[in-house]
Structure 1
Amino acid sequence: MFTTVFLAACGNNKNNNENSSSGTQVISQTNSNYYQGVIKKGHYLTSKSRGVSVQQNDNQLNLKGFENGLLSISKDHFPTDDYILQEGQYINTDTVENWLGRKSKSNPDGLNPEGKDSKEPLYLQQMDEQDFMTEDHDSLKIKGMTIGLGINSIYYYRKEAYGAVYQKTLNEKDIVKQGKEIADKILQRLRKRKELKNIPIVFALYKQAPNDSLVGGNFFASSVNNGNNIKNSDWKSLNVKNYVLPDETSKGVNSNDENAFENFKNQIQKFFPNLSGVTAQAHYVDGQLRGMHVNITTQFYGQSEIISFTQYVNSTANKYLPNNIPIDIQISSTEGMQSFLSRKTGSNNFYTHVFTSY
């Protein structure tokens, strides 16, 4: 269990360092791409805001894309070699629930508009806090913070309890306007806390994908606020997009990337025709392919078949899929995951693993 947690939040290549007075322990780094994490009194400090949403989020890819993208943005401002990641501890769960609610007499801190669900859309869907610490005389001091805000692109609502679900597509300008206004209100509230008054605080706005989307949403703006700024005045547009391959619309996907995936797909389907599906999620930043996650659904059950297929996928992926980007390939059946392949940026080979049962 601990290995999984550590890999999700690792950083500097130092020995575990424990402050005996507070029982706080810093987790050693296994990879320079990860932050060090924090354990307190034997327990990993989980985020108090993670997973809290104003409505049921039916697209789990939104949550994954939100968390992974937020970490990438944080790394641009708080390098993994200089900072320790402490998952959000300053905005507690009750506060997040109030902020995600509608503003009303009973909830004056609500950040969503006043009004009835059937008439006034909810914009703010989820939020997450990341705290960035440094060690100071055997204790951790907060030196920076990132706040991610998930903004709805489609508003789902019911006109009556347990009734039919309706949906309303939100205007792009309203999404941007509401996101920035909400960020300003949160920044002002955070600055009232003594320990957060003078640290840099980064805000990142994420547009949620529809519930039926095969990919998650994308971050579209960020702002860095140094010193004691109480207004996000320097917003930067982010050109981050996720696409599904094969892409029937052919919008946004580079034709070379699309052809490479199509060739890969055709080759493995010819060799093993009893495949249920081969799809990919392509991640683009500023129009350039930065990563790919491939899902292959099979009907194999024999161990020798799985091993042979995994080996063939490995050689075919090396031959056809784009180079110099991280790629994960997951091979699954109705029985669950059968094997996976992973290649890091700059690597020429895939790491492969076939699951076995004894």
Structure 2
Amino acid sequence: MKKLNGCLMVILLFLVACAPNNNEDEVVQEEDSGEETSIVPSAKLEEENYRMILPYKTSAARGVINRQVANRVDIDEFEQGLRRHSKEVYDPDRYFFQEGQYITESMTYEWIDDLNPKVEEGAGEEFHRDNPRYLSHILEQNYLVQGEDNAVNLAGISIGLAMKSVYRFQEESGGPDYYEDISEEEMMKKADEIAQDVLERIRQIEGLENVPVMFAIYREAEQNSPVPGSFVATTNVSGDSSSIGSWQDLNEEYILFPSSEGREKYYEDQELVTSFGNEIAEFFPNYVGIVGEGFYVNEELQKLTIEIPLDFYGKAEVIGFSQYIYGLVQEMFPDYYDLEIKVESSTKMESLIYRESGEEEPTVHIFH
């Protein structure tokens, strides 16, 4: 009966999510956009998310991040995390989100080259180790507010600086790779200098002379890391300032489960993930293992993501397995953090079981 009630709850949640929203979209006009009008959708995917202005404008430096940041998981966390930290400054109930429209592709490449040490022709290993390229990428995000006559205008920007934790280099093209570790202390010292230079350049761009700026420093993971790096510091600059002030330290980290780091730092969470895998292995003979990822702030678990790779021979197997996972979630996992479990075959994601912090019942989605 408990599982039946759970399934009914899933169906109800699905119907509610798909119900039409009768609120009308807003028609607004972007400042300095001539006669162009834009639309602000009335609905948001989640209450804490930003609304975005349509037609959607892509970044003026679109695609650069994919060529500058080596690890895919870093790219995702850098973009999403900058937006997450921006919420501390730009309230989603008041501000609209827009990708960066001021720092162009050519400017991004130029600034990155200017702000990193110049590599001399024929430079040897010692030179590279003494002069690592610290900065990988500069990410801009814009935050707008609605003023008089339905006009929206820029009210603040966020700038993310992606900094390396490991510098990879070659003495000659096609030669072997060398690696130089960069300490967080050394990285932050350089990040402070880079942020000041970036701020001065921003103040020279038309439209950004007097706009508040939030800076966030992101420390990348190693290139082949299965989990992303993390944001380590933020600072806010008022619209009438051209100087970087003090930084607020952040204590965030992503932890892989199972791993030696997970066992050492968060033993109980690792044991929970391991026990969850053991429960699955007991009933499903083709089970090969799971991979977990915990996101921690101030050493408190905020979100646990688990991927379960399995081969299935029909949709009935997927449904039965997902029902089994649904029951294990209720029995094993506490509800003080977000939980997301992805059931994947070799070709696609088969189902998704998720539960937000504080909710009693998980939600299940079977992909067709």
* TM-score (structure 1 length as normaliser): 0.87
1:126 equivalent among 118, 133, 137: 137
List per-residue Cα deviations over 1:24-75 (Å, max 9, x = no partner): 22233322111011224xxx11122354249554420101111121111001
2:189 equivalent among 170, 177, 187: 177
C-alpha distance in 2 between matches for 1:193 and 1:213: 36
Is contact 1:124-1:150 (8 Å) kept? Answer: yes
Is contact 2:60-2:105 (8 Å) kept? Answer: yes
**What residue ranges of structure 1 are gaps of 5+ in the alignment?**
1-12, 102-109
After superposition, residues 1-358 of structure 1 pair within 5 angstroms as 15-19=25-29, 21-30=35-44, 31-40=46-55, 44-53=56-65, 57-101=69-113, 110-116=114-120, 119=128, 120-136=131-147, 137-250=149-262, 253-356=265-368
C-alpha distance in 1 between matches for 2:204 and 2:93: 29
Q: Which amino acid aligns with 1:197?
A: E
List per-residue Cα deviations over 1:134-191 (Å, max 9, x = no partner): 1122222111111011100011122222332222111332211111111111111112
Q: Which amino acid aligns with 1:38?
A: I
* TM-score (structure 2 length as normaliser): 0.85
Deviating beyond 6 angstroms after TM superposition, the runs of 4 or more aligned structure 1 residues are none
**What residue ranges of structure 2 are gaps of 5+ in the alignment?**
1-22
Mark the CA change 1:14 to 1:177 in structure 2 (over 3 Å): closer, same or farther: farther
C-alpha displacement at 1:286, in angstroms?
0.7
Pairs aligned (count):
333
Corresponding residue SS for 2:259 = coil
After superposition, the CA RMSD in angstroms is 2.0
Structure number with the higher helix fraction is 2
Identity of aligned residues (%): 30
Is contact 1:327-1:343 (8 Å) kept? Answer: yes
C-alpha distance in 1 between matches for 2:54 and 2:291: 38
List per-residue Cα deviations over 1:332-354 (Å, max 9, x = no partner): 12122111112122211222111
Is contact 2:255-2:261 (8 Å) kept? Answer: no
Mark the CA change 1:69 to 1:56 in structure 2 (over 3 Å): closer, same or farther: closer
C-alpha distance in 1 between matches for 2:339 and 2:224: 24
C-alpha distance in 2 between matches for 1:186 and 1:54: 21
C-alpha distance in 2 between matches for 1:135 and 1:223: 25
C-alpha displacement at 1:281, in angstroms?
0.7
C-alpha distance in 2 between matches for 1:231 and 1:51: 29
Is contact 1:16-1:28 (8 Å) kept? Answer: yes
C-alpha distance in 2 between matches for 1:250 and 1:262: 11
Equivalent residue for 2:3? none
Mark the CA change 1:187 to 1:152 in structure 2 (over 3 Å): closer, same or farther: same
C-alpha distance in 2 between matches for 1:129 and 1:250: 33
C-alpha displacement at 1:265, in angstroms?
1.7
